[in-house]
Amino acid sequence: MNQNLLRLAKRREHLVEKAEAQRLALAQNVEVWSKPLTMADQGLNVLRYIRNHPIMIAGGGTAVLSMLRPSRFGKWFRRGWLAWQILQKLSNKSKP
- Which tens digit of pLDDT belongs to each residue from 23-47? 999 999 988 888 888 999 998 998 8
Where is pLDDT greater, at 67 or 26?
26
CA-CA-CA-CA torsion sign (78, 80, 82, 84): negative
Q: How confident is the model at residue 58 (pLDDT cuts 50, 70, 90)?
A: confident
* pLDDT given for residue 69 in this prediction: 64
| Mean predicted lDDT score pLDDT of the chain | 84
Q: How confident is the model at residue 94 (pLDDT cuts 50, 70, 90)?
A: low
55-81: average pLDDT:
73
Whether the Cβ atoms of residue 65 and residue 72 lie closer than 8 Å to each other: yes
- Distances 96 to 3, 25, 51, 73, 92 between C-alpha atoms, Å: 67, 46, 19, 36, 8
